[in-house]
A and B are shown apart, each in its own frame.
Chain A
Amino acid sequence: MTPFLEVSDLVMHRSGIQVLAVNHLAVESGQTLAVIGPNGAGKSTLLLALAGLLSPAEGGIRIQGQAIQSKNLLAHRRRIGLVLQDALLLDTSVFNNIASGLRFRGLPKAEVKRRVSLWASRLGIAHLLNRPARRLSGGEAQRASLARAFALQPELLLLDEPFSALDAPTRSRLLSELHDLLAETRLTTVFITHDLDEALMLGDQVAVLLEGRLRQVGTPEQVFAAPSDSDVAAFVGVETIIPGQVVASQDGQVFIEAHSQHFEAVGEIDPGRLVYVCLRPEDITLWQKEVSSVPRSSARNRLTGQISRMTQQGPLVRVVVDCGFTITALVTRSSTQEMGLAEGSQVEATFKASAVHLIGR
């Protein structure tokens, strides 16, 4: 089946210098692709190319099998919704801002009004419609920007770090609302971010872009649990990611069930919420089961498993343990020698509740 969005052999230049090269990238209809990478990795260039706002030096982009060409640029741009890092609202009322794209398309007044009201309401800014855009707070402005994009009912939504300029509480609220909106509308979306939490929360697929090259594409679990190379691993940091569900929450402690295992974490999340249990490899302690029983400690989480792979990285060894799902621990070479760890060894892994990072999904 033809993917909704397909990028082939794309090469992008900025000021005569190659800044991006993507051999192949595809997004299925209704899916959200989170493109992550550090600043300067070429993420925004990719997004602008997808929006038809930058022309490729080589290669091409196809939407539903149709190539983006100079002759159909306007038609292409009228199929997308674009939200940039800054809201970039026009110096007029919030209503007129949300209506702007609809008016560019020549929609009838009644339809413009209906869609503006609908999406302003959905984004919680219906009471601000008559307010001048320049008097909005950062969060309100970004809500207006999102409403402006959703009101277009685009076939493809392109988001370029829309929350990076917002304070943490506002960002968290908006992220959660966007997650729900995307889940409800099943809008095909490309979401650019350098924030791993955002990528995990929104992305059905995650693409890692480093130094202008696509290094890995996969589900969040694949990318974070099995980075394709050390650069990706270094960037993503978190290497253990386990999908689970909150079963209870009490006194700031959260109890999660994942793959028939129980985890404890710190936080305030309502029972029933689907989450990712995320662990950094340096937060996991390994115990060799055959040599010693694990003493009592403050670590609230214990798992039993078998070492499936050991990879040396300078003075450290990356140890992948199969517990029915994989977890990755980082231990020193001397520890592995003293404990006699080898592939196939049975181990226990412990980590504190405070080391568990929960991300909603």
Chain B
Amino acid sequence: MEMIWDGIRQAFQLIFGADADVWEITLLSLQVSGLATSISLFIGLPLGTWLALGRFRGRGLSLSIVNTGMALPPVVVGLVVSILLWRSGPLGDLRLIYTPAAIIIAQTIIAAPVVTGLTAAALQQLDPRLRLQLLGLGASRGQMVLALWREARLPLLAALMAGFGSVISEVGASMMVGGNLRHQTRVLTTAIVLETGKGEFARAIALSIILLVLAFLVNLALTEIQQRSARP
């Protein structure tokens, strides 16, 4: 018990003592997961919309694949991305392995199916006649999609939150493709694993608290936006 309290006390010292290492790791985590979530949004929003509104053969199968992808194990993603980016791998010439870019790629692969699947579900919950009404009002296809996104803005923000949550907290893929290199690819989750392995529980607790607070603050901001939209 004493160890935990000691850990929490040290954590606050690290956080408020402006420990350069801790802030570097925190900033990198935010940058990497933020960018991965943004890319996932660019991929997932149109793809989820196409799956929700499109009428094509294999649509059901595609949705099933995306839904399966929502539960993609990060270590499997880490393994596949490692193989692809390995020096002797098919994309080895890009020299991305053990760089933040590799982590962004892996996290995007994890978050994109989450955003895609939840976008499709959000749009499918809307009254299908709304599409006819919008087209009947003279909306072009693009205007119709924008209007539908606006109608589904609450569940779409939830999709964004779920996407961010899935990557800010994952460790397996980041460890495998980033290598947890100090000052280069060390993010909060990989640092926690490292510090715990070294028996530096205070530092691990400090990083965990930062991770939790970070996740809380991002979700608080998104929830605030979401609930503001929901107010009558």
Contact = CB atoms under 8 A, between A and B. Distances in A.
Contacts of A135: 232
Given A84-B129, A104-B143, A134-B232, A90 B138 contact: no
Centre residue among B138, B140, B147 by max chain A CB count within 10 A = B138
A82 B232 contact: no
B133 interface: yes
Contact of A104 (B127, B139, B151): B139
A132 B232 contact: yes
A48 B140 CA distance: 16
B136 A80 contact: yes
A101 interface: yes
Interface residues of B, number: 17
Interface of A is mostly: mixed
A180 interface: no
Contact of B136 (A53, A91, A92, A134): A53
A88 B138 contact: no
Contacts of A77: 135-136, 138
B150 interface: yes
Given A90-B147, A104-B143, A53 B138 contact: no
Interface in A107-150: 132, 134-135, 148
A91 B151 contact: yes
B151 A100 contact: no
A74 interface: yes
Contacts of A48: 132
B129 A105 contact: no
Contacts of A86: 127, 129
Given A90-B151, A132-B232, A135-B232, A84 B138 contact: no
A200 interface: no
A101 B147 contact: no
A78 interface: yes
B137 A152 contact: yes
A134 to B, nearest CB: 7
Contacts of A134: 232
A105 B138 contact: yes
Interface in B19-64: none
B220 interface: no
Given A84-B132, A84-B133, A132-B232, A78 B138 contact: yes
A51 interface: yes
Contacts of B133: 82, 84, 88
A53 B147 CA distance: 17
18 contacts: A51-B132, A51-B135, A53-B132, A53-B136, A77-B138, A80-B138, A84-B132, A86-B129, A88-B129, A90-B147, A91-B150, A100-B137, A100-B147, A101-B139, A104-B137, A104-B143, A105-B138, A158-B136
Interface of A: 48, 51, 53, 74, 77-78, 80, 82, 84, 86, 88, 90-92, 100-101, 104-105, 132, 134-135, 148, 152, 158
